Structure 1
Amino acid sequence: MSGVTAKSLLVAMGLYCSLCATSAMAVEVQQNQLYEGGTLIESGSLGLSFKIPDGWQGAWPAGSELFVLESQALKANIFVYIDQSGEQALMQQMAQPVPLDASVILYPKSAPQKRNGRLTADYSIGNMPNMEGRISAVTGKGSTSVALIAVADQSTAAQVWKVAETVASSVKFSAPKPLAQGGGDGGWSTYMRGRHIVRYYSGSGYHEEEHIWLCSNGEFYRSGNSGGYGGGASGATGTQGAGKWEAQGSLNAQGMLILQYGPGYSMHGSTPGFDWSESGPGGERVTFTLALANNKLYLDGTQWLRDGNNRCQ
C-alpha cells in the first residue's frame, strides 16, 4: 500500500509484534502498546470503548491524537479520532480537508450526511488517486464523538468501509471516570516533554508549515517553511533554530511555553532567478500561551497538531 500504513508507523516506533494484548477483557488504552484483533479498548477518562476487529491490530503511538488500526490483508488503515466539540462542530470539520500528516490529506467529495444516527462523508486522497477515504462518526449523549477515518486502496475500499461500520457499532459510551492523581507536577512541562508539534496553513495560493521538537533533555529544534504564488511568480522561505525550552503552569489552566534560542539563526529563500540566505546572532526569547480545548492543543490561540517525534525524546 502506497502512502501511510499503520504497519510502517508501528515498525518505525519499534512496536510491530513487540507487545500484544489479549482479547479476554476490556483494557485501558496505553500509548506504545500493540493490541490484537478482538481486544476491547477502553478509555475510562473519556467514557468510551470500542473493539478492534478480528484480523486487525492497533496501537496509540506516543504523541499522536489518533489510535491506529491496520490490516495487512486488506492493506488498509482506520484511524480512530476522539472529538469533544459536539456533532454540529464535527460535521463542519468533516466538510473541510482533513490532514492526517503533511503528505496525506483527505479532500471531501461531498457534504457529510447523517445516516442511521452516524455522520458519514467520502474523500479523495491528495496525490494518491488510487486511494479513497471515508469518515464515519458516532456521537454519545453528550458532546463526545468517535470518528473512524478509513483509508484504503480502491480495490478493497468497500470491504474496509464495512469493517469501519463494525467498529462504529462496537462503540459504547459511559460516564467518564475522574483521572487519578499521580506524582510529579502533572503540568505543562510534563505534557510537552518529548513532543513534536506541527502547524499547517494554506489559503489563496500561500502555505506555511512549522515544526517544533521539544526534547526531554530541555533542548528544542524549530523549523519552518512558507511559500506562495501570485502574478505569475512564486517564492519560498525557510527558517531554523535551536535552543532551550521550558513550559510553565498547570494543565487545568493556560500555561506558557518559553523558547530561549541559542547563538545563531538562519533563513533562506528563493524567488524566480534568485536565491538568498541570511543569518543572525540568535539569543531571542519567544513565548507562547498554551491551552487545551476539546483535546486539541493551542499555542497563542492557533491549533497545533501532535505528531510522532523521531528526532529526539
Structure 2
Amino acid sequence: MRLLSLLAIFLPISLIAQDSGRKDFPNLGISFQIPDGWVGQENEAGYVMGSYTDPGIILMTAHQTQNLDQLRVEAQQGLHDNEGTSLSVDGEISKFSSNGLQALYQGSVGFQPAKAFAIGLVNPNGSGVSIIGMSTIDQFSDKHREVVTQIASSVKFSKVTVVESKSEWGNLLQNARLTYMNSYYSSGGSYGGYSTGGGYSDKEIIDLCAQGYFNHSSNSSMAFDTGGGFGSSFDQNAGAGKWKVIVNNQGQDVLQLNFYNGEVYEYVLSLQDNKTYLNDRRFFRTYGNVTDDGPNCN
C-alpha cells in the first residue's frame, strides 16, 4: 500500500464514510465481506476497516503479483518506510488456501511497538489482494488474526473487462496537476492508557502527463509504502506508472493509476460547477499557466 494516511491507527476509530456488508470493486474484479462489527472506507490507496470496540485497523490493497513464489519474496521483505514503520516477519510464512500466503509481523508502526498479521492472495487472471491487520503489541490478539482470515476467506475474484472512456476527461486531464488538501482533528478521553483524540491531515498530488505516465505524492500524518503484494519494488520507467480514463460497470468515468509496482488506484471522476471531484473529494485542477502549479512531467 502506498501512502495511506491515518493518525490514530491503534485505537477504535470513527470513519467518515462507513461501509458494511459485501463490497464489490468490479473494475478490479475483487469483492469481499466486511465482518460484523466492523466498518470500512475507501481511500486513494485501498480500503481501510476499523471497529468501534476493537483497537487496530485492517488495511486491504490490490496488487499484481500473480504467483506464490514472488508473493513469498515480497512477504519476506516486510513493511518498511521512513516514517517509523518497520515490520519484519515473525516466524514462518505459511500457505493460506491454494492461492495465498500468511505471516505474522512484529516491529514498529509510527514509532510505536506493533504486531501485524497479513494474508496475501494471488489472482492469475488479474489483481490479487493483501489484507493486513495491525495494532500495538499489547493490544494485538487472536481477534486480529480471525478478522483478517475471515475477510480473506470471503474474497471472490472475477474477470475484468476494461473499457476505455470516450469522454473529454482524457483531454481535460492531460498535463494537469490534481491537488487535494484536507485536515481534521478531534479530542476525546482515554482508552487503555492512550488518548482517543485523533484525526488526520492529507495532501495528495497527482501529476498527469500527456505522454501517458503520472507522478504521485501524498503527505500525511502517517504513511506506509508496501510496494507489491507485501514488499517494495521499483521501476526505472518515467514517472510512477501509467494513467488512463476508463468506464466502470455503472457507466462512470474513472481515473485509473497503474503503478509500476503493480498497485492500482481508481477515482470516480465528476464535475460540479466546473470543479473537479475524485471519489467525491474536491481536487484543484491546475496546469501551471499562471503560477508554478503545473505537473512534474520531466
Shorter-chain TM-score: what band? 0.5 to 0.7
Residue of structure 2 equivalent to 1:112: 93
Which one of the candidate residues 111, 126, 133 is aligned to 1:150?
Answer: 133
> Rg bigger for which structure?
1
> Are 2:52 and 1:72 aligned?
yes
- The 3 A distance-change label for structure 1 pair 195 and 179 is farther
Mapping of 1:216-295 within 5 angstroms? 247-250=209-212, 255=213, 289-292=239-242
- The CA distance in 2 between the partners of 1:49 and 1:101, in whole Å, is 32
Report the structure, 1 or 2, having the larger strand content. 1
- Structure 2 gaps of 5+ residues are 182-202, 216-237, 244-255, 266-282, 285-298
Which one of the candidate residues 78, 85, 100 is aligned to 2:65?
Answer: 85
Please give the TM-score of this superposition, normalised by the length of structure 2.
Answer: 0.55
- What amino acid does structure 1 have at the position aligned with 2:45? E
Residue of structure 2 equivalent to 1:123: 105
Residue of structure 1 equivalent to 2:151: 167
Residue of structure 2 equivalent to 1:193: 178
> Are 2:6 and 1:44 aligned?
no
What are the superposed Cα offsets for residues 14-57 of structure 1, whole Å, 9 maximum, x if unpaired? x9565xxxxxxxxxxxxxxx2333x2111111111011111111
Residue of structure 2 equivalent to 1:233: none
Aligned with 1:45: secondary structure? coil
Number of aligned residues: 201
Deviation of 1:66 (Å): 2.4
- The CA distance in 1 between the partners of 2:79 and 2:148, in whole Å, is 18
Deviation of 1:182 (Å): 5.5
Deviation of 1:157 (Å): 2.1
Aligned with 1:161: secondary structure? helix
Residue of structure 2 equivalent to 1:138: 121
Aligned with 1:35: secondary structure? coil
- The CA distance in 1 between the partners of 2:175 and 2:23, in whole Å, is 25
Aligned with 1:74: secondary structure? coil
Aligned with 1:183: secondary structure? coil
Q: Is the 8 A contact 1:81 1:147 kept in 2?
A: yes
What are the superposed Cα offsets for residues 68-103 of structure 1, whole Å, 9 maximum, x if unpaired? 111131111110011112133222111113147723
- What amino acid does structure 2 have at the position aligned with 1:122? L
Aligned with 2:135: secondary structure? strand
- The CA distance in 1 between the partners of 2:214 and 2:122, in whole Å, is 33
Q: Is the 8 A contact 2:65 2:262 kept in 1?
A: no
Greater relative contact order (CA < 8 Å, ≥ 6 in sequence): 2
What are the superposed Cα offsets for residues 203-251 of structure 1, whole Å, 9 maximum, x if unpaired? xxxxxxxxxx7758xxxxxxxxxxxxxxxxxxxxxxxxxxxx772233x
- Structure 1 gaps of 5+ residues are 10-14, 19-33, 197-212, 217-244, 258-287, 307-311
Deviation of 1:184 (Å): 2.9
Aligned with 1:150: secondary structure? strand
- What amino acid does structure 2 have at the position aligned with 1:54? D
Mapping of 1:96-111 within 5 angstroms? 96-99=77-80, 102-111=83-92
Aligned with 1:46: secondary structure? coil
- The 3 A distance-change label for structure 1 pair 74 and 100 is farther
- The 3 A distance-change label for structure 1 pair 290 and 297 is same
- The CA distance in 1 between the partners of 2:175 and 2:36, in whole Å, is 36
Deviation of 1:5 (Å): 8.8
